[in-house]
Structure 1
Amino acid sequence: MDRFQAMATYLRVVDTGSFSAAARQLNIGQPAVSKIVAQLESRLKTSLLTRSTHGLTPTEAGQRFYERAQVALQEADEAELAARGAGKGLSGKLRISAATTFARLHVIPHLPRFLDEHPEMDIDIILDDRVIDLIAEGIDVSLRMGALSDSSAVARKLATSPRSVIATPEYLARKGEPITPAELAEHEAILYNPQPNLWSFTREGAVTSTSVNGRVRVSAAEGQRAAVLSHMGLCIASDWMFAEELKSGAAKKVLTAWQLPSIDLWAVFPNGRLASAKARQFAGFVESIMAEK
């Protein structure tokens, strides 16, 4: 029995709460997972798991083993990094999640460089604008933007972007450019769920709010971006979302004398598990990408 493989399998069983879920994430059969855990219990001469209506939960001994196994696997990763030198040559599978538009524009185009640095690594990318369950989906690191809903999340801030009111020159030529926030009421707003209809701005310490209206509301940032670039209206978005268009002139910021709250990019790691060296290395890679922008 490979001890590290057994520990990793056991951690995945505890994290997911079942042999079948762990098997799906590890891409092996459920009987193989059950056998590995049984062999581990036989070696340790103690029961590690108990069954309940909520699934599998660790025994007292199982919880102690879980915590120590986390540390052991992380230290093994660190030892491998040290031996390979300067964090090069990571191997195995890394499973990440990210918002669709952000990943398409700012992550995926840079992946060849990361993969060239780590030729023995495979990456699974889960593209979803929603906040997903990292443990249930077997995610090693998630790239999330905005306020974190879970205050206990293990997270690292990677970058910050201004947010702006953005439209195309074609739309502004047709509808006119707003000079004050109050004039937004006369425009078509492309709203992104759950973005409110009330937009608030600050200028010299004073807050100004205005209600906006729009015939188009979308459930994903990709739809909001497509609608704006189709000259259908204006929106509030991070400068990241329209970076190339703002640079080329295909999109334009308006109301630049008023400020909107900025938005943060976070690397979020599964609660209850130490971040793997691969996940931390990837988070650092994304941080370096965003620092160049």
Structure 2
Amino acid sequence: MDRYQAMTTFVRVVETGSFSAAARQLNVGQPAVSKTIAQLENRLQVSLLIRSTHGLSPTEAGQRFFERAKVAIQEADEAELAARGAGAGLSGCLRVSAATTFARLHIVPLLPRFLADNPELEIDVILDDRVIDLVAEGVDLSLRMGTLADSAAVARKLATGGRSVLATPGYLARAGEPRTPAELAGHDVVIYSQTANVWALSRDGTETSVTVHGRVRVSAAEGLREAVLADMGLTIASDWMFAREIESGAVRRVLTDWSLPPIDLWAVFPAGRMMSAKARQFAAFVEQALAGHSGAA
């Protein structure tokens, strides 16, 4: 029995809570996972898992083994990287999740460079605007924007981006350009359903709020982009979302003497699970790539 593989399998079973979920993440059949755990328990002469109708959970001995195994696997990975040398690159599969539009515009274009530096690495990118369960989905690293709802999450801030009131020249030529926040109430607004329709802007330490209205409400950032680019109205968005269009002039910032709260980009790692060297290095790579970006502060 391969001890490293057995420990990895057991750790993944505990993290996911089932043989089937662990098998999917390990790209093996469920019988292979069950057999490995049985062999491990036989070798250790102790029961590691409690099986019930609600799933699997570690016994007291299993919990102790789980905690030590996580550390051992991480140290083994680090030892392998050290032996290979800094120039040898990473290997295996890295699973990354990120919001669809942000990833399409700013993460996917970076992948060729990262993969070229790590020729033995594969990257599985999960594009989803929802906050997903990282452990259940087997995700090594999630790139999330905004305020983190889970205070227990293991996270590191990678960048801060500006936010602006934006519109196309076509819409502004038709509807006029607002000169004050109060004038926003009379404009067509493309509303992102994940945000409120009360916008708060500040200038010189004074904050003002305005309730906006729009005939178009979208549930995904891709739809927001397309609606704005179709001259359907104003919106508030991160400068990351329209970075190319702002640079080319296809989209313009308005009310530029007023400011909006910035938005943070976070690297979020699965709580209670080992943080892989692959995930740490990719997070550092993204942080460096976004440094000095037009959308970052």
Compute the TM-score of the two structures, normalised by the length of structure 1: 0.98
The 5 Å alignment of 1:80-99 reads: 80-86=80-86, 88-99=88-99
* 1:199 partner letter: W
Query: What amino acid sits opposite 1:284 in the alignment?
Result: A
Contact 1:198/1:211, CA 8 A, preserved across alignment = yes
CA deviation profile, 1:22-70 (whole Å, cap 9, x unmatched): 1112111110000111111112111110013321000111111111111
Residue matched to 1:131: 131
Q: Deviations over 1:244-266 (max 9, x none)?
A: 11111111111111111100001
Gaps in structure 2 of 5+ consecutive residues:
none
Structure 1 residue aligned with 2:14: 14
Q: Distance in 2 between matches of 1:279 and 1:112?
A: 16
Aligned equivalent of 1:222: 222
Name the structure 2 match of 1:108: 108
Which secondary structure state, in structure 2, belongs to the residue aligned with residue 151 of structure 1? coil
Match of 2:164 in 1: 164
The match for 2:204 is: 204
SS of 1:171 mapped into structure 2: helix
Q: Which amino acid aligns with 2:261?
A: P
Letter in 2 for 1:44: L
Q: 1:88 offset after TM fit, Å?
A: 4.1
The residue aligned with 1:290 is: 290
> CA distance change for structure 1 residues 88 and 177 in 2, over 3 Å: closer, same or farther?
farther
Q: Is this contact kept in 2: 1:6–1:37, CA < 8 A?
A: yes
For 1:6-45, list aligned pairs within 5 A: 6-45=6-45
SS of 1:272's equivalent? coil
User: What's the CA shift string for 1:202-248, capped at 9, x where partnerless?
Assistant: 11111100000001111111110111111111111111001111111
Alpha-carbon distance in structure 2 between the residues aligned to 1:99 and 1:45: 45
- Tell me the amino acid that sits aligned with residue 39 of structure 1: Q
Residue matched to 1:249: 249
TM-score calculated relative to the size of structure 2: 0.96
1:154-174 Cα deviation digits (max 9, x unpaired): 111100001111111111111
What corresponds to 1:147 in structure 2?
147
Moved over 6 A (4+): none
Corresponding position of 2:239: 239
Question: Kindly tell me: are residues 253 and 88 of structure 1, through their superposed partners in 2, closer, same or farther at Cα, counting changes over 3 Å?
Answer: farther
Counterpart of 2:277?
A: 277
Comparing 167-176 with 45-54, greater Cα deviation is found at 45-54
What residue identity is the alignment partner of 2:15?
Answer: D
Amino acid at match of 2:59: T
Shift of 1:10: 0.7
Gaps of 5+ in 1: none
Q: Does 1:263 align with 2:253?
A: no
- Measure, in 2, the Cα distance between the counterparts of 1:187 and 1:85: 58
* Residue aligned with 1:50, SS: strand
Q: Match of 1:52?
A: 52
Alignment identity in percent?
72
Q: Give the partner amino acid of 1:129.
A: D
8 Å contact kept, 1:81–1:87:
no
Q: 2:164 and 2:243 mapped to 1: Cα distance? A: 11
Q: Aligned residues, how many?
A: 293
Q: Residue deviations 1:179-213, cap 9 Å, x none?
A: 11100011111111221110011111111000000
Q: SS where residue 200 of structure 2 aligns?
A: strand
